[in-house]
A and B are shown apart, each in its own frame.
Chain A
Amino acid sequence: DGGITQSPKYLFRKEGQNVTLSCEQNLNHDAMYWYRQDPGQGLRLIYYSQIVNDFQKGDIAEGYSVSREKKESFPLTVTSAQKNPTAFYLCATGPFSYNEQFFGPGTRLTVL
């Protein structure tokens, strides 16, 4: 199947723990993005990557980290430094041009 997969679908974390959200794509898109969605708000950009081994901070990068070791994969780590991590996290990809972004199914993270 072609597309974007995110895992897990639901994730529970205790305070003080780091957790990693997975995002994998087989669309051969160069760019990948991580967004955070909170109730009543739009999507906010956390990190993005245009090519392998390169990534840039978005609007709300504090408390998050990423890596881009492979074109297909762009995992997001939510660290203990993120004060309010409970949210819905969406991964997106896009070709290296002015085109729409394609979204994965999302991961809902809850801090207990």
Chain B
Amino acid sequence: QVQLVQSGSELKKPGASVKVSCRASGYTFTSYAMNWVRQAPGQGLEWMAWINTNTGNPTYAQGFTGRFVFSLDTSVSTAYLQISSLKAEDTAVYYCARLDYYDSSGYADYWGQGTLVTVSS
């Protein structure tokens, strides 16, 4: 069965960096793109980026360039999100989600369990 397993919660100080992993299993990793979605406390879902797992090419939402780096290691079927120069407003749950992309459309059919990143001094 398809599973996306994310790394555990993180507590970081402002200015530090964090790397969240998302390990996929139960399907061919390069057959589906990968989404990253942020959810701040008490807020809605905010799409961050999707990554073509064949080329590694990301498509970013506005506001998620610069400090946010999305990468892959296809040898271990894992996607990564790295955030640098963390700010308090980066405190959120970060989800990876498999993207079923077709005919210039798509949706997230499987989701990781989420990783809570807390930024606090």
Are chains A and B native binding partners rather than an unrelated pairing? Answer: no
